[in-house]
Amino acid sequence: MSMDDHLAACRRIKRSLESAEKELQDGEPGVPFTVDIINGYDSELRTAITKIIQLGAVGCNIEDSRFDPATKKHSLFSIEEMQERLRTAQQVAAENGVPDFVFNVRCDAVLFDPANGFEEIVKRGTAYLETKVPTTIFVWGGPFGPDVTPAQLKSLVERWGGKVSTKVTKGKWSVQELAEAGVSRVSIGPYMAFMHTEHVKAAAKRILDGGVFSFE
């Protein structure tokens, strides 16, 4: 997705939030707006952070892997590169009036090396937190692809003082269990959209098979 298309979608979401906030009672807090900026659009990181703040964002998700359209391959930023990107992004946020801008850093090492990825997650997450940038570290958990075990997740919570984020998925990692483990942030990723798509596919198949449209 291009940055322009991404920002256009974010504007629609922000307008929906603003509409919902009109229904809040006096004294009720507003809805924090954060944006997933993938890997920060590589060399366009400064522009990406500036533009989402102009839309009203107070935080973002950012990944430590990149995709090269020319080679069609993914790779990890080096630890030093990612540390510098976090510092740069924080500086840009402060320059745009949001010094407490919060980053949720997705650590993708386990996707590249499932067998040894956990050790790399520990190394990378620790280094990112050492930048002192307001951060949680997102680690993969759940039934889709490589993930950390419950024991590993708890060890990260202890090591990083609870600055751990992961996903809630069907059949694993309930919100209550994650809260009890000390995780500070949870995500559902795109899974509600996937659920919606499956219902549409099922309804379409019933129609194509000669059935009737229904909301089953």
For the domain that residue 85 is a member of, what is the CATH number? 3.20.20.60
Structure tokens at 35: 């944006």
153's CB contacts (< 8 A; 6+ apart) are 139, 141, 164, 166, 181, 183
In a domain, 55, yes or no: yes
DSSP three-state, residue 136:
strand
Identify the domain containing residue 101 by its residue range: 3-138
Helix residue ranges per DSSP H, the chain? 3-21, 45-54, 79-95, 109-112, 117-129, 150-159, 175-181, 191-208
What is the model's pLDDT at position 189?
Answer: 80
Q: Is residue 185 part of a domain?
A: no
The b-or-e profile of 55-89 (16+ CB within 10 A means b, else e) is: ebbbbbbbbbbbeeeeeeeeebbebeebbebbeeb
In a domain, 199, yes or no: no
pTM for the full model?
Answer: 0.86
In a domain, 54, yes or no: yes
Distance CA 153, CA 118 (A): 10
- 41 within some domain: yes
The identity of residue 67, as a single letter, is: F
User: What integer best gives the mean pLDDT of the chain?
Assistant: 89
Average pLDDT on 71-85 reads 94
Confidence band (pLDDT; 50, 70, 90) for 144?
A: very low
pLDDT the model gives residue 22: 86
Domain assignment of residue 114, yes or no = yes
152, part of any domain: no
- Give the count of domains, the chain: 1
Window from 94-103, 110-119, 125-134, 199-208 with minimum mean pLDDT: 110-119
Examine residue 183 and state whether it is found in any structural domain, yes or no: no
Return the SS3 of 25.
coil
